[in-house]
Structure 1
Amino acid sequence: MNVSDRPVQPIREPENWAPDSWQAREAIQQPHYEDQAALGAALGELSERPPLVTSWEVLTLKRLVAEAQEGRRFVLQGGDCAESFADCNNRVITNRLKVLLQMSLVLVHGMRLPVLRVGRFAGQYAKPRSADTETRDDITLPSYRGDIINAPAFTPEARRADPHRLLRAHSHSAMTMNFTRALIDGGFADLHHPEYWDLAWVDHSPLASEYRQMVDGISDSLRFMETLAGEALESFSRVDFFTSHEALLLHYEQAQTRRVPRQWGWFNLGTHFPWIGMRTAALDGAHVEYFRGIRNPVAIKVGPTMQRDHLLRLLDVLNPDDEPGRMTLIHRMGADKVADKLPPLLEAVRASGRRVLWVCDPMHGNTESTSNGYKTRRFANVAGELEQAFDAHAAAGTRLGGVHLELTGEDVTECIGGARGLVEADLSRAYKSTVDPRLNYEQSLELAMLIVRKSGGRISV
């Protein structure tokens, strides 16, 4: 019996679970708040604020993820490594959305599949860190953990964990969501308006000809279909869009976990699609305990140290009924490890018969520091891991159903390589990230073209 044909057991609420049951487990990667009264007040206010997303949006996303699990959609998940309050503005949000829409255009055209668009924003304000403190010139301060907790400036005041930032993060997430929805509903993604697609970069890119052919081909096809129909095709004027973030700061997530009328169970209404990071995936840890009780589709980051048995036990805990659309596994191995570390995990999950969506994150396993002190990623390694991931899935009889990227619509120089051949000396020109390096606009589109070719699709028309 095929996995997709196997009956689903009755879905039920998990036993011995509540939104705060995680507090009885070890919670790592959490900040220390000096003022507990202020923390309690902030969380109390946060729990009364309107939700950022709705339960029906969450359930719609779960249905679409289930389609991606069956190979009927491809997932494009991308956005900033860590959002900043300062970047919650018209230009940054518009450009970020634009590059994701243009990447999805490339993927739809080349792969001949609908693309499920998931933004890594409207809540991606917390970041895990390898150490609790940072030392500079014999001065030691708490590490910067994202704008939801503290600020990047290296001062005692900036690095103090501030509970008021929880409320600021929610407000900035709401503004980002509202503006994104307004753009989408207003026809920002409308293919009838070529002025929305900024192609300034193509004059400098070897991929210019292919990209122009693709856009021209889509425009011609659209005009032909509308001529036959005798009217404009309104379905091309808007798209579905969902948000995601790493649900790292558990007090924040708990405050946005709600019951809703006419639905059973609990929903995290602070995002459509939360995920567990590689550092916080302990079976007996607080994050896994929190995630097992929410009805959202959820994901786990899977790194090179993940063991087969541990991964299968995580699937047992987080999706005991093997619900379609519930589980996504985002592997992030590194270009030098993916060929060895990924296949045993693919085989273990395939043999178990579990429904999962496999997504490749080719960014986080390929971070390095340059001789001039910048944290960067080489485009060749990012592309190399993605290509090897496609090969590993093909060999294992599984399907790579999506990609997870850190990217921006800004003209940054944070990753080396790509069509313009950026080198270490270029990083200082426009390095803006406060945490991890991101693909810029051009590199992102170049990677979308690579995905199409590796999946057997085509770019030119």
Structure 2
Amino acid sequence: AQLEEAVSTIASFPPLVFAGECRTLQSRLAAAAEGKAFVLQGGDCAEAFSQFSANRIRDLFRLLLQMSVVMMFGGGVPVVKMGRLAGQFAKPRSSPTEAAPPEVREAQPGAPAQLPSYRGDIINAPEYSAAAREPDPRRLVRAYNQAAATLNLLRGFATGGYASLGRVLQWDLDFMHQSEEGRAYRDLAAHVDEALAFMRACGLDPDSPIMRETEFFVAHEALLLEYEAALTRQDSLSGLWYGCSGHFLWCGERTREPDHAHVEWLRGVGNPVGVKISNKADPEALLRLCERLNPDNAPGRLALIVRMGARKVAAGLPPLVRAIRDAGRVVTWICDPMHGNTESVGGFKTRRFANVRAELEAFFDVHDDLGTVPGGVHLEMTGDDVTECVGGGAAITEMDLSSRYHTHCDPRLNAEQALELAFFVASRLRKRRERLDQEAKVARRRKMVQ
């Protein structure tokens, strides 16, 4: 009864996003599938009620914009910016129960040895107690309200002048001021400033709306179907149904079976959608899934988000890419270098920056070898100065993990590590652009000779 009441309440609320915005995003993803744009998805593993604040949203938004500037400057293509925000409240878990952590066993000798797993703040609470782990349908309404407040803030940031290119270039997160990435960003900002000064000298206006505003979209895993169904609305213009909880929605490795409920729901909405793909995916099954989710082969409708692990991409990805390419399927290939590289160190879940970067590098290598398009990157990250992933220029060690380990679920890149990865992506995009330009020149010369 409580669940029905919560779902009914959300169904009576306004949509969080609009069909026209989803169609705009699909056109941007179509450009990314052709190599004419690049997708940047980033944000928390799981949004938490307790960590909800305007400052946190602002810091993540700022970081995503800084990363996009780095990638645009290096790659010479627009960057499609998507936050794992305003809906990333539910988490799939590999086990229905979890054991009491050592600190709980030590502090509470009588605590239960096992309890139901934490499944995200939209379902239950992370604290280790029977009461906290009890599912509470009222959390769905709280999740909607937090998502609505988040989107309100993001829309203000994106269109109110806060995201103007001039401001983005001046931002400098305090704890990154002395870092190598901070210095590299300031150097890049100086070059862009020179370009803006040149525009002014030519009589062009760097303060025009196109320079003062930015497109920003939100995305999450469509895991809790009761919540998603309550926000499924019919577009008055097209008559199509849209999932109005977010612009881009995806199903995970555990929920992507073609005849299961999550794929069936995604099949019925007009949003651009994604599917997480591991090395376990079979080429024929993947083609059937593409047919199920995108029977018209519409560009920008379907993204395949690859999450294999650094050691498995080189062998696991090529057969899938070849199958999609040879079948003439249009998809946007996105690399998730986070989920296949999780390990446990001293009781902490972590990821090694070297492995994250290696998986991303292998992703680019595979597409370069096969003549296909690396379309984007999908990161679990935060604008906070956390110590959850080891390595990178931040030089976080295993001993540092306990100092600022704040995630409720999986480890995230901090701002310095995320920006370092953005510079790496920019370098690969630049190399790809230079190679394609050179190939085009050679082709033109051959044509002239003929």
User: Please, what TM-score do these two structures have when normalized by structure 2?
Assistant: 0.91
Is residue 210 from structure 1 mapped to residue 184 from structure 2 by the alignment? yes
Alignment partner of 1:156 out of 83, 108, 130: 130
Is residue 306 from structure 1 mapped to residue 281 from structure 2 by the alignment? yes
Alignment partner of 1:243 out of 212, 218, 225: 218
Task: Name 2:238's counterpart in structure 1.
Answer: 263
Shift of 1:201: 4.1
Distance 2:151 2:115 in 1: 33
Task: Name 2:2's counterpart in structure 1.
Answer: 38
Distance 2:382 2:425 in 1: 18
Q: 1:105 to 1:47 in 2, by over 3 A?
A: same
Distance 1:183 1:78 in 2: 17
1:373-384 matches, within 5 Å, as: 373-384=347-358
Task: Name 2:428's counterpart in structure 1.
Answer: 454
User: Superposition RMSD on alpha carbons, in Å?
Assistant: 1.4
Distance 2:240 2:182 in 1: 50
Aligned AA for 1:187?
Answer: G
Task: Name 1:315's counterpart in structure 2.
Answer: 290
Is residue 77 from structure 1 mapped to residue 52 from structure 2 by the alignment? no
Distance 1:206 1:179 in 2: 31
Distance 1:129 1:249 in 2: 13
Task: State the Cα deviation string for residues 342-395 of structure 1 (Å, max 9, x = none).
Answer: 11101110111001000000000000000x211000000000000011001111
Task: Name 1:421's counterpart in structure 2.
Answer: 395
Identity within the alignment, %: 48
Task: Name 1:115's counterpart in structure 2.
Answer: 79
CA contact (8 A) 2:253 2:278 kept: yes
Bigger CA drift: 281-290 or 143-152? 281-290
Task: Name 1:87's counterpart in structure 2.
Answer: 51
SS in 1 for 2:94: coil
Is residue 366 from structure 1 mapped to residue 341 from structure 2 by the alignment? yes
Is residue 51 from structure 1 mapped to residue 51 from structure 2 by the alignment? no
Shift of 1:87: 2.2
Task: Name 1:297's counterpart in structure 2.
Answer: 272
Alignment partner of 1:329 out of 304, 327, 348: 304
CA contact (8 A) 1:191 1:219 kept: no
Bigger CA drift: 299-308 or 61-70? 61-70
Task: State the Cα deviation string for residues 300-331 of structure 1 (Å, max 9, x = none).
Answer: 00001111111000001111111121010000
Q: 1:193 to 1:283 in 2, by over 3 A?
A: closer
Shift of 1:202: 4.4
Task: Name 2:256's counterpart in structure 1.
Answer: 281
Shift of 1:272: 0.4
Task: State the Cα deviation string for residues 228-252 of structure 1 (Å, max 9, x = none).
Answer: 2264432211100000000000111
CA contact (8 A) 2:196 2:206 kept: no
Distance 1:326 1:379 in 2: 31
Aligned AA for 2:54?
Answer: N
Distance 1:428 1:314 in 2: 41
Aligned AA for 1:376?
Answer: T
Aligned AA for 2:85?
Answer: F
Distance 2:19 2:304 in 1: 22
Task: Name 1:252's counterpart in structure 2.
Answer: 227
Q: 1:231 to 1:346 in 2, by over 3 A?
A: closer
Aligned AA for 2:399?
Answer: A
SS in 1 for 2:274: strand
Is residue 445 from structure 1 mapped to residue 419 from structure 2 by the alignment? yes
CA contact (8 A) 2:338 2:380 kept: yes
Shift of 1:457: 4.9
CA contact (8 A) 1:68 1:357 kept: yes
SS in 1 for 2:305: strand
SS in 2 for 1:98: helix
Task: State the Cα deviation string for residues 230-279 of structure 1 (Å, max 9, x = none).
Answer: 64432211100000000000111011101121212211011100001001
Q: 1:338 to 1:231 in 2, by over 3 A?
A: closer
Shift of 1:194: 5.9
SS in 2 for 1:439: coil
SS in 2 for 1:50: coil
Q: 1:172 to 1:196 in 2, by over 3 A?
A: farther
Distance 1:41 1:139 in 2: 33
1:122-201 matches, within 5 Å, as: 122-136=86-100, 138-193=112-167, 197-201=171-175
SS in 2 for 1:192: helix
Aligned AA for 1:378?
Answer: R
CA contact (8 A) 1:77 1:403 kept: yes
Distance 1:292 1:160 in 2: 31
CA contact (8 A) 2:31 2:37 kept: yes
SS in 1 for 2:201: helix
Distance 2:185 2:170 in 1: 15
Task: State the Cα deviation string for residues 11-60 of structure 1 (Å, max 9, x = none).
Answer: xxxxxxxxxxxxxxxxxxxxxxxxxx111111111111000001111111
CA contact (8 A) 1:268 1:296 kept: yes
CA contact (8 A) 2:175 2:385 kept: no
SS in 1 for 2:131: helix
Task: State the Cα deviation string for residues 386-418 of structure 1 (Å, max 9, x = none).
Answer: 001100111112110100000000000000001
Aligned AA for 1:121?
Answer: L
